[in-house]
Amino acid sequence: MVFDEPELTSDAGLLAIAQLENPLGYIEKVAGCINDRRAGPIHSIKALLKQRIYQIIGGYPDANDCDRMRDDGAMQTVVGVERQLASQPTLSRLENAVNMKDLVRMAYAIAENFLDSFEEAPRMIVMDMDRTAHLVYGQQQLGLFNTHVGDTCLMPFHVYDGQTGRLITTVMRSGKTPNAAEILAVLKRMVRKIRERFGQTLLLFRADSHHTKPQVMEWMEENGVGWITGLAPNKALNRKFALTIQEARSAYKGNAKEGYGEEPVRRFASGWHKAGSWSAAQRVICRVIAGPNGFDARYVVTSYEQASAKYLYETVYCGRGVNGGLKLTQYGRFKIDPPLGREITVVDRLIELGC
Protein backbone atom coordinates (compact mmCIF):
# COMPACT_ATOMS: atom_id res chain seq x y z
CA MET A 1 0.00 0.00 0.00
CA VAL A 2 1.14 3.52 -0.81
CA PHE A 3 0.26 6.37 1.55
CA ASP A 4 2.13 9.22 -0.11
CA GLU A 5 0.31 9.36 -3.43
CA PRO A 6 1.09 12.89 -4.75
CA GLU A 7 -2.20 13.28 -6.66
CA LEU A 8 -4.40 12.97 -3.55
CA THR A 9 -5.80 15.93 -1.61
CA SER A 10 -7.30 16.38 1.82
CA ASP A 11 -9.14 19.59 0.85
CA ALA A 12 -11.86 18.38 -1.49
CA GLY A 13 -14.43 20.25 0.60
CA LEU A 14 -13.24 23.46 -1.02
CA LEU A 15 -14.93 22.31 -4.22
CA ALA A 16 -18.35 22.66 -2.57
CA ILE A 17 -17.50 26.14 -1.29
CA ALA A 18 -16.38 27.20 -4.76
CA GLN A 19 -19.73 26.06 -6.15
CA LEU A 20 -21.42 28.48 -3.75
CA GLU A 21 -19.10 31.39 -4.44
CA ASN A 22 -18.84 31.20 -8.22
CA PRO A 23 -22.46 32.25 -8.93
CA LEU A 24 -22.17 35.14 -6.46
CA GLY A 25 -19.01 36.45 -8.09
CA TYR A 26 -17.64 38.10 -4.95
CA ILE A 27 -14.01 37.34 -5.73
CA GLU A 28 -14.28 38.37 -9.37
CA LYS A 29 -15.83 41.73 -8.43
CA VAL A 30 -13.22 42.40 -5.76
CA ALA A 31 -10.42 41.44 -8.16
CA GLY A 32 -11.72 44.06 -10.60
CA CYS A 33 -11.15 46.74 -7.94
CA ILE A 34 -7.39 46.20 -7.80
CA ASN A 35 -5.31 48.19 -10.26
CA ASP A 36 -2.90 45.66 -11.76
CA ARG A 37 0.39 47.51 -12.27
CA ARG A 38 2.44 44.43 -13.23
CA ALA A 39 4.11 43.99 -16.61
CA GLY A 40 3.48 40.62 -18.25
CA PRO A 41 1.91 38.82 -15.24
CA ILE A 42 1.64 35.02 -15.27
CA HIS A 43 -1.19 34.82 -12.72
CA SER A 44 -4.27 37.04 -12.93
CA ILE A 45 -5.42 39.09 -9.93
CA LYS A 46 -8.57 36.97 -9.81
CA ALA A 47 -6.52 33.75 -9.65
CA LEU A 48 -4.25 35.17 -6.95
CA LEU A 49 -7.19 36.26 -4.81
CA LYS A 50 -8.90 32.91 -5.20
CA GLN A 51 -5.73 31.09 -4.23
CA ARG A 52 -5.23 33.26 -1.14
CA ILE A 53 -8.87 33.14 -0.03
CA TYR A 54 -9.37 29.41 -0.51
CA GLN A 55 -6.11 28.66 1.27
CA ILE A 56 -7.36 30.65 4.28
CA ILE A 57 -10.70 28.82 4.17
CA GLY A 58 -8.85 25.50 3.95
CA GLY A 59 -6.83 26.29 7.08
CA TYR A 60 -3.63 27.55 5.44
CA PRO A 61 -3.53 31.23 6.50
CA ASP A 62 0.17 31.91 5.98
CA ALA A 63 1.48 33.03 2.60
CA ASN A 64 4.31 30.53 3.15
CA ASP A 65 1.73 27.77 2.63
CA CYS A 66 1.53 28.75 -1.06
CA ASP A 67 4.75 26.94 -1.82
CA ARG A 68 3.37 23.55 -0.77
CA MET A 69 -0.23 24.13 -1.89
CA ARG A 70 0.50 25.43 -5.38
CA ASP A 71 0.51 21.90 -6.81
CA ASP A 72 -2.57 20.66 -4.92
CA GLY A 73 -5.23 19.42 -7.35
CA ALA A 74 -8.21 20.66 -5.36
CA MET A 75 -6.66 24.10 -4.96
CA GLN A 76 -5.95 24.36 -8.67
CA THR A 77 -9.54 23.33 -9.43
CA VAL A 78 -11.17 25.96 -7.20
CA VAL A 79 -8.82 28.63 -8.55
CA GLY A 80 -9.77 27.54 -12.06
CA VAL A 81 -6.36 26.80 -13.58
CA GLU A 82 -4.59 23.62 -14.65
CA ARG A 83 -1.03 24.67 -13.90
CA GLN A 84 1.14 25.44 -10.92
CA LEU A 85 -0.29 28.22 -8.76
CA ALA A 86 1.52 31.30 -7.48
CA SER A 87 4.41 31.15 -5.03
CA GLN A 88 4.69 32.87 -1.65
CA PRO A 89 6.64 35.91 -2.97
CA THR A 90 3.99 36.53 -5.63
CA LEU A 91 1.15 36.47 -3.08
CA SER A 92 3.11 38.68 -0.69
CA ARG A 93 3.72 41.24 -3.42
CA LEU A 94 -0.02 41.32 -4.16
CA GLU A 95 -0.88 41.96 -0.51
CA ASN A 96 1.58 44.85 -0.35
CA ALA A 97 0.51 46.30 -3.70
CA VAL A 98 -3.10 47.06 -2.66
CA ASN A 99 -3.54 50.75 -1.78
CA MET A 100 -6.28 52.76 -0.08
CA LYS A 101 -8.14 53.52 -3.32
CA ASP A 102 -8.25 49.79 -4.11
CA LEU A 103 -9.67 49.08 -0.62
CA VAL A 104 -12.40 51.70 -1.01
CA ARG A 105 -13.37 50.23 -4.38
CA MET A 106 -13.52 46.77 -2.76
CA ALA A 107 -15.89 48.02 -0.05
CA TYR A 108 -18.12 49.52 -2.76
CA ALA A 109 -18.02 46.29 -4.75
CA ILE A 110 -19.25 44.29 -1.76
CA ALA A 111 -22.06 46.82 -1.25
CA GLU A 112 -23.03 46.63 -4.93
CA ASN A 113 -23.17 42.85 -4.66
CA PHE A 114 -25.60 43.23 -1.74
CA LEU A 115 -27.82 45.66 -3.65
CA ASP A 116 -27.82 43.40 -6.70
CA SER A 117 -29.31 40.61 -4.56
CA PHE A 118 -32.71 42.37 -4.47
CA GLU A 119 -35.17 41.77 -7.28
CA GLU A 120 -37.13 44.86 -6.23
CA ALA A 121 -36.62 47.73 -3.80
CA PRO A 122 -37.01 46.55 -0.18
CA ARG A 123 -39.30 48.46 2.19
CA MET A 124 -36.47 48.86 4.69
CA ILE A 125 -32.79 47.97 5.02
CA VAL A 126 -31.52 47.43 8.56
CA MET A 127 -27.83 48.30 8.80
CA ASP A 128 -26.35 46.24 11.64
CA MET A 129 -22.82 47.52 12.26
CA ASP A 130 -20.39 45.78 14.58
CA ARG A 131 -16.67 45.23 14.86
CA THR A 132 -14.90 41.97 15.60
CA ALA A 133 -11.55 41.33 17.22
CA HIS A 134 -9.05 39.77 14.83
CA LEU A 135 -5.93 38.81 16.80
CA VAL A 136 -2.59 39.60 15.17
CA TYR A 137 0.99 38.89 16.12
CA GLY A 138 4.30 40.57 15.45
CA GLN A 139 4.49 44.06 13.98
CA GLN A 140 1.43 43.81 11.75
CA GLN A 141 0.09 47.09 10.38
CA LEU A 142 -2.91 48.55 12.25
CA GLY A 143 -2.51 46.01 15.06
CA LEU A 144 -3.09 47.66 18.45
CA PHE A 145 -3.40 46.32 21.99
CA ASN A 146 -7.06 46.44 23.06
CA THR A 147 -7.69 46.29 26.80
CA HIS A 148 -11.20 44.83 26.40
CA VAL A 149 -9.92 42.01 24.20
CA GLY A 150 -6.73 41.66 26.23
CA ASP A 151 -4.54 41.18 23.16
CA THR A 152 -3.18 42.87 20.06
CA CYS A 153 -5.78 42.86 17.31
CA LEU A 154 -7.46 44.47 14.34
CA MET A 155 -11.12 45.48 14.68
CA PRO A 156 -12.72 45.54 11.23
CA PHE A 157 -16.23 46.91 10.75
CA HIS A 158 -18.78 44.40 9.49
CA VAL A 159 -22.20 45.63 8.33
CA TYR A 160 -25.02 43.14 7.73
CA ASP A 161 -28.63 43.62 6.68
CA GLY A 162 -30.76 42.70 9.69
CA GLN A 163 -33.62 41.57 7.43
CA THR A 164 -31.82 39.11 5.18
CA GLY A 165 -28.58 38.47 7.06
CA ARG A 166 -26.58 39.40 3.94
CA LEU A 167 -23.28 41.23 4.15
CA ILE A 168 -23.58 44.90 3.13
CA THR A 169 -19.90 45.79 3.43
CA THR A 170 -16.81 45.34 5.57
CA VAL A 171 -13.93 47.70 6.31
CA MET A 172 -10.50 46.95 7.80
CA ARG A 173 -9.47 49.17 10.72
CA SER A 174 -7.11 49.23 13.69
CA GLY A 175 -7.81 47.46 16.98
CA LYS A 176 -9.30 50.39 18.89
CA THR A 177 -12.74 51.63 19.86
CA PRO A 178 -14.26 53.44 16.85
CA ASN A 179 -14.65 57.21 16.90
CA ALA A 180 -17.42 59.24 15.27
CA ALA A 181 -15.38 60.08 12.17
CA GLU A 182 -14.72 56.38 11.43
CA ILE A 183 -18.37 55.43 11.91
CA LEU A 184 -19.63 58.28 9.75
CA ALA A 185 -17.10 57.54 7.01
CA VAL A 186 -18.71 54.12 6.56
CA LEU A 187 -22.30 55.14 7.30
CA LYS A 188 -22.37 58.05 4.85
CA ARG A 189 -21.04 55.92 2.01
CA MET A 190 -23.50 53.10 2.75
CA VAL A 191 -26.49 55.43 2.86
CA ARG A 192 -25.44 57.17 -0.35
CA LYS A 193 -24.98 53.86 -2.18
CA ILE A 194 -28.32 52.46 -1.01
CA ARG A 195 -30.25 55.62 -1.87
CA GLU A 196 -28.69 55.82 -5.32
CA ARG A 197 -30.35 52.46 -6.02
CA PHE A 198 -33.40 52.51 -3.73
CA GLY A 199 -34.44 56.09 -3.10
CA GLN A 200 -37.67 55.28 -1.20
CA THR A 201 -36.31 52.51 1.04
CA LEU A 202 -36.40 53.25 4.78
CA LEU A 203 -33.10 52.89 6.61
CA LEU A 204 -32.49 51.75 10.19
CA PHE A 205 -29.09 51.75 11.91
CA ARG A 206 -28.45 49.31 14.79
CA ALA A 207 -25.25 48.99 16.80
CA ASP A 208 -23.85 48.67 20.32
CA SER A 209 -22.93 51.53 22.65
CA HIS A 210 -19.51 52.09 21.05
CA HIS A 211 -21.36 53.55 18.06
CA THR A 212 -23.54 55.97 20.07
CA LYS A 213 -21.78 59.23 19.29
CA PRO A 214 -23.44 62.69 19.27
CA GLN A 215 -22.14 63.49 15.78
CA VAL A 216 -23.49 60.19 14.44
CA MET A 217 -26.97 60.75 15.90
CA GLU A 218 -27.05 64.31 14.58
CA TRP A 219 -26.11 63.20 11.08
CA MET A 220 -28.77 60.46 11.05
CA GLU A 221 -31.39 62.93 12.31
CA GLU A 222 -30.51 65.36 9.52
CA ASN A 223 -30.50 62.66 6.83
CA GLY A 224 -33.63 60.70 7.70
CA VAL A 225 -31.97 57.54 9.00
CA GLY A 226 -33.69 55.82 11.93
CA TRP A 227 -31.52 54.36 14.68
CA ILE A 228 -31.49 52.25 17.81
CA THR A 229 -28.11 51.89 19.51
CA GLY A 230 -26.81 50.82 22.89
CA LEU A 231 -26.14 53.31 25.66
CA ALA A 232 -23.61 52.57 28.37
CA PRO A 233 -25.18 52.49 31.89
CA ASN A 234 -24.27 55.35 34.20
CA LYS A 235 -25.43 56.94 37.46
CA ALA A 236 -27.49 59.61 35.68
CA LEU A 237 -29.53 57.00 33.79
CA ASN A 238 -29.95 54.87 36.91
CA ARG A 239 -31.34 57.92 38.75
CA LYS A 240 -33.69 58.77 35.87
CA PHE A 241 -35.14 55.25 35.88
CA ALA A 242 -34.90 54.68 39.65
CA LEU A 243 -38.65 54.02 39.96
CA THR A 244 -38.52 51.29 37.31
CA ILE A 245 -35.50 49.70 38.97
CA GLN A 246 -37.19 49.82 42.38
CA GLU A 247 -40.43 48.41 40.95
CA ALA A 248 -38.58 45.44 39.46
CA ARG A 249 -36.72 44.76 42.70
CA SER A 250 -39.91 45.00 44.78
CA ALA A 251 -41.80 42.70 42.38
CA TYR A 252 -39.04 40.12 42.60
CA LYS A 253 -38.97 40.22 46.39
CA GLY A 254 -42.78 39.99 46.51
CA ASN A 255 -42.86 36.97 44.18
CA ALA A 256 -40.18 35.20 46.21
CA LYS A 257 -41.99 35.95 49.47
CA GLU A 258 -45.29 34.60 48.13
CA GLY A 259 -43.68 31.36 47.02
CA TYR A 260 -43.42 31.95 43.29
CA GLY A 261 -39.75 30.97 43.28
CA GLU A 262 -36.76 33.08 42.34
CA GLU A 263 -37.65 33.70 38.72
CA PRO A 264 -36.13 37.07 37.68
CA VAL A 265 -38.52 39.97 37.01
CA ARG A 266 -38.19 42.11 33.88
CA ARG A 267 -39.45 45.67 33.54
CA PHE A 268 -39.26 48.17 30.68
CA ALA A 269 -39.59 51.94 30.60
CA SER A 270 -38.70 54.89 28.37
CA GLY A 271 -38.04 58.57 28.85
CA TRP A 272 -36.28 61.56 27.34
CA HIS A 273 -32.66 62.09 28.25
CA LYS A 274 -30.01 64.61 27.21
CA ALA A 275 -26.37 63.81 27.91
CA GLY A 276 -24.00 66.74 28.24
CA SER A 277 -22.48 66.17 24.79
CA TRP A 278 -25.84 65.78 23.00
CA SER A 279 -27.35 68.69 21.10
CA ALA A 280 -30.91 67.55 21.85
CA ALA A 281 -32.80 65.16 24.14
CA GLN A 282 -33.37 61.66 22.76
CA ARG A 283 -35.71 58.83 23.71
CA VAL A 284 -33.96 56.30 25.95
CA ILE A 285 -35.27 52.79 26.63
CA CYS A 286 -34.52 51.06 29.95
CA ARG A 287 -34.61 47.31 30.53
CA VAL A 288 -34.28 46.10 34.14
CA ILE A 289 -33.87 42.53 35.35
CA ALA A 290 -34.17 41.98 39.12
CA GLY A 291 -33.17 38.63 40.60
CA PRO A 292 -31.35 36.91 43.45
CA ASN A 293 -28.11 38.73 42.63
CA GLY A 294 -29.59 42.22 42.56
CA PHE A 295 -30.56 44.12 39.41
CA ASP A 296 -29.15 44.64 35.94
CA ALA A 297 -30.10 47.76 33.96
CA ARG A 298 -29.46 48.15 30.23
CA TYR A 299 -30.19 51.15 28.04
CA VAL A 300 -30.63 51.99 24.36
CA VAL A 301 -31.25 55.30 22.60
CA THR A 302 -33.56 55.47 19.60
CA SER A 303 -35.16 57.81 17.09
CA TYR A 304 -38.46 55.86 17.24
CA GLU A 305 -41.02 57.59 19.43
CA GLN A 306 -44.19 55.51 19.02
CA ALA A 307 -43.38 51.81 19.57
CA SER A 308 -43.37 50.45 23.12
CA ALA A 309 -40.19 50.29 25.21
CA LYS A 310 -40.47 46.51 25.55
CA TYR A 311 -40.88 45.97 21.84
CA LEU A 312 -38.04 48.30 20.86
CA TYR A 313 -35.57 46.77 23.29
CA GLU A 314 -36.52 43.11 23.28
CA THR A 315 -37.35 42.67 19.62
CA VAL A 316 -35.79 45.48 17.58
CA TYR A 317 -32.52 46.07 19.43
CA CYS A 318 -31.93 42.51 20.65
CA GLY A 319 -32.76 41.27 17.15
CA ARG A 320 -29.20 42.09 16.07
CA GLY A 321 -27.57 38.90 14.86
CA VAL A 322 -30.51 36.62 15.68
CA ASN A 323 -30.55 33.78 13.14
CA GLY A 324 -28.90 36.13 10.67
CA GLY A 325 -32.11 38.12 10.30
CA LEU A 326 -35.09 39.69 12.03
CA LYS A 327 -37.76 36.99 11.84
CA LEU A 328 -37.93 36.56 15.58
CA THR A 329 -39.99 33.44 16.19
CA GLN A 330 -38.86 33.26 19.80
CA TYR A 331 -40.53 36.58 20.51
CA GLY A 332 -43.91 35.35 19.31
CA ARG A 333 -45.96 36.04 16.20
CA PHE A 334 -48.07 39.05 15.41
CA LYS A 335 -51.45 37.93 14.11
CA ILE A 336 -52.03 39.27 10.64
CA ASP A 337 -54.70 38.70 8.04
CA PRO A 338 -54.30 37.11 4.59
CA PRO A 339 -53.14 37.57 1.92
CA LEU A 340 -49.84 38.34 3.67
CA GLY A 341 -49.93 34.94 5.32
CA ARG A 342 -46.46 34.95 6.86
CA GLU A 343 -44.73 35.78 10.10
CA ILE A 344 -44.45 39.53 10.40
CA THR A 345 -40.97 40.98 10.73
CA VAL A 346 -39.70 43.82 12.87
CA VAL A 347 -39.69 46.14 9.88
CA ASP A 348 -43.35 45.39 9.06
CA ARG A 349 -44.30 46.07 12.66
CA LEU A 350 -42.42 49.39 12.78
CA ILE A 351 -44.10 50.51 9.59
CA GLU A 352 -47.49 49.35 10.91
CA LEU A 353 -46.94 51.43 14.05
CA GLY A 354 -46.12 54.45 11.90
CA CYS A 355 -42.57 54.71 13.24
DSSP string, 321-350: TSTTSS--GGG------TTS-SPPPHHHHH
Which CATH number fits the domain 100-230, given the four candidates 3.30.420, 3.10.450, 1.10.3470, 3.40.1350? 3.30.420
Domain boundaries, the chain: 13-97, 100-230, 232-352
Contacts of 150 (CB under 8 A, 6+ apart): none
pTM of the complete model = 0.80
pLDDT tens digits, 269-304: 999 999 999 999 999 999 999 988 888 999 999 999
Computed over every residue of the chain, the mean pLDDT equals 83
pLDDT tens digits, 194-253: 999 999 999 999 999 999 999 999 999 999 999 999 999 999 999 999 999 999 999 888
Stated length of the chain: 355
Query: How many CB atoms within 10 Å of residue 36?
Result: 13
Burial class (CB in 10 A: 0-12, 13-18, 19+), 278: middle
From residue 119, give the alpha-carbon distance in Å to each of 22, 24, 114, 196, 197.
Answer: 19, 15, 11, 16, 12
109 closest CA partner among 23, 195, 27? 27
**Partner residues linked to 151 by β-bridges:** 146
Asked if 54 contacts 17 with a C-beta cutoff of 8 angstroms, the reply is: yes
Sheet of 167-171, strands arranged across: 167-171, 157-161, 124-131, 202-207, 226-231, 294-302, 282-291, 265-273
Query: How many CB atoms within 10 Å of residue 6?
Result: 9
Question: CA–CA separation, 285 vs 237, rounded Å?
Answer: 10
| Share of residues in the chain with pLDDT > 90 (%) | 39
What pLDDT does residue 262 have?
Answer: 74
Query: pLDDT confidence of 1, banded at 50, 70, 90?
Result: low
Question: CA–CA separation, 214 vs 61, rounded Å?
Answer: 39
Beta-strand runs (E) in 59-172: 124-131, 134-135, 144-146, 151-154, 157-161, 167-171
Question: CA–CA separation, 86 vs 171, rounded Å?
Answer: 26
Asked if 16 contacts 54 with a C-beta cutoff of 8 angstroms, the reply is: no
Tell me: pLDDT of 312 over 50.
yes
